[in-house]
Structure 1
Amino acid sequence: FAGFVDTGARLVGVEAEGGAVMAFGRVGVMHGFRSMVLQDEHGQVCEAHSIAAGLDYPGIGPEHAYLGDIGRARYVTVNDDEVVEAVVRLARTEGIFAALESAHALAWIIRAAGSGELPAGANVLMTLSGRGDKDVSALMEAR
């Protein structure tokens, strides 16, 4: 988000529903930094879940925590089923096999476009990184 913070761009971060730190976390210290962390009632770090192994982390970087706190960025969640459907849809329509991590953003874009939250003709920029071939076993288990 750093390159777009000082622009008029709408910033939307997409989290895995089972590890939605911005939605369910509280301020805490983990790995030497203070940020938002998934915690239980005693302040102990809780496990996060996502179909994407790269998103199984119970914390969020300080920059994202700050952007959410000041209202500059909005953070939303998608579930594993939406992510799998986004991967399949992109593969079938464009021939691109997205990594599960990036597919979280794509899943939200598909949902937001379908609901009208993203109007027709809106300019959208998302990152599509990684390789989906590393996720074949997770996708097979999910389907």
Structure 2
Amino acid sequence: MNHLGSHKLNNVLGQILLAKRMGKTRVIAETGAGQHGVATAASAAKFGMKTYALFSENDQVAPVYSISAGLAYPGVGPEHAFFKDSGRVEYVAATDDEAVDALLLLTRKEGILPAIESSHAIAEAVKRAPQLSKDNIIIVNVSGRGDKDVAAIADYLEKRNTKNQE
């Protein structure tokens, strides 16, 4: 019986068991809706692991939103927590405007229509490129195709243009 008020428990248990098998002792969860953090904390406690969960200043969790449905998930697996804590990766954010602008830039310059998820990474590459020498190379994994996002991007651009004209 699940007393946590969360349907996320079955997913989190798999993540916790994997983390334990990998020898990890801590798990970090950003909780967009709150329940993922509760499930993570309960599962981690069951297996003697420390938990790191992020909430707002009022102990509430803001609703998750991203123009990209694929990025609007409020959880993080133990692998990402480990990579962040070990300093192997740095996680950054891109706004919807930055992601859409990056999508449009790559489409205009290279004829590649990236998925909006990948456009967030492209936006970060665009930010970092001016700080690097011409000899440096940036690799961005464009892992999806943007034809599935055309209607959402068109709606977003229409709203943005209307807002800018006000």
Same fold (TM over 0.5): yes
Residue 28 (1) aligns with residue 37 (2): yes
Tell me the residue number matched to 1:102: 118
Structure index of larger Rg: 2
Higher relative contact order (CA 8 A, sep 6+): 1
Picking from 79, 82, 105, the partner of 1:66 is 82
Sort the Cα spacing of 1:37 and 1:130 in 2 relative to 1 into closer, same or farther, 3 A: farther
C-alpha separation in 1, matches of 2:151 and 2:39:
30
Say whether the 8 Å CA contact 1:37–1:59 is kept in structure 2.
no
Runs of at least 5 residues in structure 1 that lack an aligned partner in the other structure: 1-20, 22-26
Which residue of 2 is the match for residue 141 of structure 1?
155
CA–CA distance in 1 between the matches of 2:134 and 2:43? 41
Higher share of residues assigned strand: 1
Paired with 1:119 and 1:37, the residues of 2 have a C-alpha distance of 38
| Native 8 Å contact 1:102 1:128 kept in 2 | yes
What is the deviation of 1:42?
7.2
Q: Secondary structure at the match of 1:75?
A: coil
Taking the TM superposition and a 5 Å limit, the aligned residue runs for 1:1-143 are 21=30, 28-30=37-39, 38-40=54-56, 46-114=62-130, 116=131, 118-143=132-157
Cα separation, partners in 2 of 1:129 and 1:70, compared to 1, 3 Å: same
Question: Residues 102 and 40 of structure 1: is their aligned pair in 2 closer, same or farther, counting only changes over 3 Å?
Answer: same
Question: Structure 2: 5+ residue runs without aligned partners?
Answer: 1-29, 31-35, 45-50, 158-166
| Alpha carbons 1:100, 1:135 under 8 Å: kept | yes
8 Å CA contact 1:54–1:101 kept in 2: the answer is yes
Deviations 1:60-81 (A, max 9, x none): 1211111111222111111000
Aligned residues: 117
Which structure's residues are more often helix, by fraction?
2
Q: What is the identity percentage for the equivalent residue pairs of Structure 1 and Structure 2? A: 44
- Over 3 Å counting, the alpha-carbon distance change for 1:60 and 1:102 in structure 2 is same
